[in-house]
C-alpha cells in the first residue's frame, strides 16, 4: 500500500510539472496573402491552394505577465489518428504554407508539441484542435471586414478601422501584426484574439502582442 501511494504521489507531481498553468490563449489568425507576399517561402499544401481566407496559425497559452510556456510535455506527441475526424477541416482552416509542399502534419505537430502540450490541463489533443476550428468559425473575421468595406484587394486601409471592425465583430479589441512586402509596404499579416483558458470565449487581452503596423496597411490579394 505504501508503495502504491508513493507511485501515485510521483504521478501527481509529474502531472503538475507538465500541465503548467496559464492565464489565457492567443488565438492567432494569419492572412495567407501577406505570408506569401513577403520574404517567406510560400508553398501551397498538397491538397491545393487554400481559400482566400484567414488561416489558423495557432492557439497559444500565455501568461498575464507577457511570457508563455512552451514544450511542456515531451512525452505527449501529436498522433494523427486522434484528430482523424477533424482532418478535412484542419486542411481547410488550419493549412500550412511552408515549403516544400506538404500535408500539414508537420505544422500541426509543431503547434501541438510547442503550445498544445502546455494546455493539457484544460484540453486534450482532439479538444485543442477542435477548439481552434470552432473559434475561427465563431470569429468569422473576413466576413466582418468585407461587410465593412475592407477587402483583400491590394488597397490600403486605416489600421484603426480594421481594429474597430474586428472589435465590433467579436466584442473585444484585437492585436494586429503586420509585415513588409518586397516594396516595404506594411501589410495586414496576423490577428491576435484573446481567449479564456477553456478556449471557448473571447476575452479582453490581458496583454497585447508586440506587433507593429503603420497607420495605413495593405490588405493583399491571395
pLDDT in tens, 139-172: 999 999 999 999 999 999 999 999 999 999 999 9
Task: Verify whether residue 111 is a known catalytic residue.
Answer: yes
* Distance in angstroms (rounded) separating the CA atoms of residues 199 and 118: 13
Looking at the predicted structure, is the pLDDT value of residue 16 above 50?
Answer: no
Instruction: Dump pLDDT digits (tens) for 83-94.
Output: 999 999 999 999
Q: Around Cβ 45, how many Cβ atoms within 10 Å? A: 18
* Distance in angstroms (rounded) separating the CA atoms of residues 199 and 195: 6
For 24-219, CATH number out of 1.20.1630.10, 1.10.10.10, 4.10.780.10, 3.90.730.10 equals 3.90.730.10
* Distance in angstroms (rounded) separating the CA atoms of residues 61 and 141: 21
Q: And the C-alpha cell for 208?
A: 497585447
* Nearest C-alpha neighbor of 56 from the set 110, 88, 92, 99: 92
Q: Around Cβ 117, how many Cβ atoms within 10 Å? A: 24
Q: And the C-alpha cell for 34?
A: 501577406
pTM: 0.89
| Residue among 111, 113, 130, 177 flagged as catalytic | 111
> Is 192:28 a contact under the CB 8 Å cutoff?
yes
Looking at the predicted structure, is the pLDDT value of residue 31 above 50?
Answer: yes
Instruction: Dump pLDDT digits (tens) for 46-91.
Output: 999 999 999 999 999 999 999 999 999 999 999 999 999 999 999 9
| Residue among 115, 120, 122, 177 flagged as catalytic | 115
Task: Verify whether residue 115 is a known catalytic residue.
Answer: yes
Task: Verify whether residue 130 is a known catalytic residue.
Answer: no
Amino acid at each position: 500500500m505504501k508503495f502504491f501511494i508513493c507511485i501515485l504521489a510521483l504521478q501527481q507531481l509529474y502531472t503538475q510539472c507538465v500541465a503548467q498553468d496559464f492565464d489565457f490563449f492567443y488565438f492567432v489568425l494569419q492572412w495567407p496573402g501577406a505570408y506569401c507576399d513577403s520574404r517567406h517561402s510560400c508553398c501551397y499544401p498538397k491538397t491545393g491552394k487554400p481559400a482566400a481566407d484567414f488561416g489558423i496559425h495557432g492557439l497559444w497559452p500565455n501568461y498575464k505577465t507577457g511570457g508563455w510556456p512552451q514544450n511542456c510535455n515531451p512525452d505527449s506527441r501529436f498522433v494523427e489518428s486522434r484528430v482523424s475526424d477533424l482532418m478535412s477541416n484542419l486542411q481547410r482552416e488550419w493549412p500550412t504554407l511552408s515549403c516544400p509542399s506538404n500535408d500539414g502534419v508537420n505544422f500541426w505537430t509543431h503547434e501541438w508539441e510547442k503550445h498544445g502540450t502546455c494546455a493539457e490541463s484544460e484540453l486534450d489533443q482532439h479538444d485543442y484542435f477542435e477548439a481552434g476550428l470552432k473559434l475561427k468559425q465563431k470569429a468569422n473575421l473576413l466576413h466582418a471586414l468585407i461587410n465593412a468595406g475592407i477587402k483583400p484587394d491590394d488597397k490600403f486601409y486605416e489600421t484603426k478601422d480594421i481594429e474597430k471592425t474586428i472589435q465590433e465583430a467579436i466584442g473585444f479589441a484585437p492585436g494586429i501584426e503586420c509585415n513588409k512586402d518586397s516594396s516595404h509596404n506594411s501589410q495586414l499579416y496576423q490577428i491576435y484574439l484573446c481567449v479564456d483558458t477553456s478556449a471557448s470565449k473571447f476575452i479582453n487581452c490581458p496583454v497585447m502582442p508586440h506587433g507593429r503596423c503603420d497607420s495605413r496597411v495593405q490588405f493583399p490579394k491571395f
